[in-house]
Amino acid sequence: MPDPCVAGIDIGGTKIALAVADLEGRIIEQKRFPARTSERGPHAIIEEALSEIERMLGSAGSRLDAVGIGCGGPLDRARGLILSPPNLPGWDEFPVVQIVEERLGVPALLDNDANAAALGEHRHGAGRGYRHLVYITQSTGIGGGVIVRGELVHGVCDGAGEVGHMTVLPDGPVCGCGGRGCLEALCSGTGIARRARERLAAGASSALSSLSSEEVTARAVAEAARAGDTLASEVWDEMIHYLAVGVGNLFNALAPEAIVIGGGVSEAGEQLFAPLRERVRERARMLPPEKINILQASLGGDSALHGAVILAQAARARRAEPTS
């Protein structure tokens, strides 16, 4: 293992992913373990993560230089606090940066996990080589990160990039944020499953009718749609319609060189991307069609972990230039 190293931590609602990397950001060793956030407090979970990083370093005798942390928002990046994220009950005003810095004696940097994933895809994944990029994670929820001239845009209160809460259907279904008709309410994995369950409850017949309510997931909808099921195809098609509204708005507003989509729903591949590209080209008419560049993320579930390592590199660079 190279010496010194940096480490990345990706904190999710159900799992923690860790990586130790060289100073160029190449991951040398990585690990993930279940977080069981509902059973254990944040202190115990972070302590387990830090002990594991020490074990990875110790077996190679390497020194640690910095840590980057990606976590679901909301966050206070400047103060290094995790602020009551909906997927991490009990993590209220949790001073993760201070705890990591004091425990390991190295600088740490925090950003939200969608921004981290945007950094990861930009540096190492599908977004390599682009200076202007939007990343969207289409998973249980929908998050995003905006990169302009190679840098993340954070905006006021670090609120930029929340593409999941763009309105795509005025007065549409209620979203977790309290608004209505957000992209997340209509196109997240949770939203897709809910739309399918509503239609089944209304009595529509479908291959999905034989499943229990919990088994009607976005993945089950995608599979049934591929097999030609009418209800599932309608739900999938409706999701792509609203996703095209949101993605088209982003092309019109920002004209990025590419929009990269990752997260569990995007694993449907061309079943999602082929119709999406076609419909966004119909909508985003201020750009030539060949500039509507929509790509599938290429780092799988590791986009945010790669991003956490990039945050560690930034923490290291910041320490080297304390006045900047």
Spatial contact of 165 and 179, defined as CB atoms under 8 Å apart: yes
CB of 143 vs Zn ion, minimal distance in Å: 11
143-182 footprint of Zn ion as x/- string (CB under 5 A): ----------------------x---------x-x-x--x
User: Based on CB atoms, which residue is closest to Zn ion, 169 or 177?
Assistant: 177
User: Based on CB atoms, which residue is closest to Zn ion, 121 or 184?
Assistant: 184
Q: Please, which of residues 87-146 interact with Zn ion by CB under 5 A? A: none
CA dist., res. 292 & res. 227, Å (int): 29
239-268 footprint of Zn ion as x/- string (CB under 5 A): ------------------------------
Q: What's the Cα-to-Cα distance from 199 to each of 173, 209, 216, rounded to whole Å?
A: 14, 10, 11
CA dist., res. 13 & res. 110, Å (int): 16
CB of 174 vs Zn ion, minimal distance in Å: 9
CB of 37 vs Zn ion, minimal distance in Å: 22
CB of 74 vs Zn ion, minimal distance in Å: 13
Total residues interacting with Zn ion, rule: CB under 5 A: 5
CB of 28 vs Zn ion, minimal distance in Å: 38
- Enter the tokens of residue 158: 């670090």
CB of 179 vs Zn ion, minimal distance in Å: 4
User: Based on CB atoms, which residue is closest to Zn ion, 115 or 313?
Assistant: 115
- The tokens 């606090």 sit on which residue? 81
User: Based on CB atoms, which residue is closest to Zn ion, 177 or 204?
Assistant: 177
User: Based on CB atoms, which residue is closest to Zn ion, 78 or 174?
Assistant: 174
User: Based on CB atoms, which residue is closest to Zn ion, 1 or 169?
Assistant: 169
CA dist., res. 140 & res. 133, Å (int): 22
User: Based on CB atoms, which residue is closest to Zn ion, 179 or 264?
Assistant: 179
- Enter the tokens of residue 60: 């190679």
CB of 166 vs Zn ion, minimal distance in Å: 8
Instruction: Give the count of beta carbons closer than 10 Å to the beta carbon of residue 204.
Output: 15
Q: What is the dihedral of CA 54, 81, 154, 9, to 10 degrees?
A: 20
H or E stretch at 252: helix 230-254
Q: What is the dihedral of CA 178, 183, 187, 193, to 10 degrees?
A: 10
Spatial contact of 85 and 25, defined as CB atoms under 8 Å apart: no
Interface ranges with Zn ion (CB under 5 A): 165, 175, 177, 179, 182
